[in-house]
Structures are given as structure tokens and as C-alpha cells.
Amino acid sequence: MKQLFLEDLANKNESEVLDHIASTFETERPVDIELLIAYESVGSWGCDSSNWFLFRKNGKLYENHGSHCSCYGFEGQWKPEETTIEYLKSDKFYVSTGGYDKDEEGNKQKVKDYLQQL
């Protein structure tokens, strides 16, 4: 399935997104993952910023959320949690798009449509 990279990550390739994760979260570069969705929207001075990543590793789905509203960034927030497709397709799942997303509703719909295809 084709990868879905949105908003600030829309023009990056997989390698660039993995490097971005390592530098943004101040963590090691993720290895042996199948990156599915990468979303990030960062505002001026980082205020009201949000990101969300969905990936598969060893046949399991994981998601990672990050947010900040200060001069500090996403440091230390790379803590992927196992998830299920049932949860992601449920009405309990929500993607926070941050305050500077140029197409908030469109990006939310793209995520929803992508998840329906999984």
C-alpha cells in the first residue's frame, strides 16, 4: 500500500521522514518499520504543533502522537504504542492536526480513507 505523508511531511520520501523522526524526537532512527502514514504540522515558534505516525513492525500496527505548544519541540515523545485497525477505524480514534494545518478537514479525510483500505 502506498504511503501517506501529509502537511509538513508531504514532499518528503521515506528516508527523509525517518531521519526527521530521529532528529525531531531526539531518538535513534527507526529501523525495520513499514511507515504507512506520517503527519506533522508545526506552527510559528512551534506553538500549537502536532504530529502522528502510523507504521507496521513485525506484523503489528503502531502509532505515535506528538504535540507541543512552546519553544520546545517534540523531544522525548517518540514512544510508539501498539494499536489495532479496529480501533483506528472506530469513532474513538482522532488525529490532532495542530493549529496551522492548511487543509485540516482534507487531511483528516485522507487519513480516514487510508485507514478504510487497511
Q: How far apart are CA 69 and CA 18, in angstroms?
A: 23
β-pair type (49-57, 34-41): antiparallel
Read off the pLDDT of residues 80-110 as tens digits, 9 standing for 90 and up: 999 999 999 999 999 988 788 999 999 999 9
**Rounded to two decimals, what is the model's pTM?**
0.93
48 vs 90, residue with greater confidence? 90
DSSP for 26-44, written as a single string: TSPPP-S-EEEEEEEE--G
Half-sphere exposure of residue 88: CA atoms within 13 angstroms, side-chain side = 24
Copy the grid coordinates of residue 76: 522525548
Show the domain range for 51: 4-117
Structural domain tally of the chain? 1
pLDDT (0 to 100) of residue 43: 79
Break the chain down into helix, strand, coil percent, rounded to 5: 30, 30, 45
Copy the grid coordinates of residue 37: 502514514
Across 3-9, average pLDDT:
97
pLDDT (0 to 100) of residue 45: 66
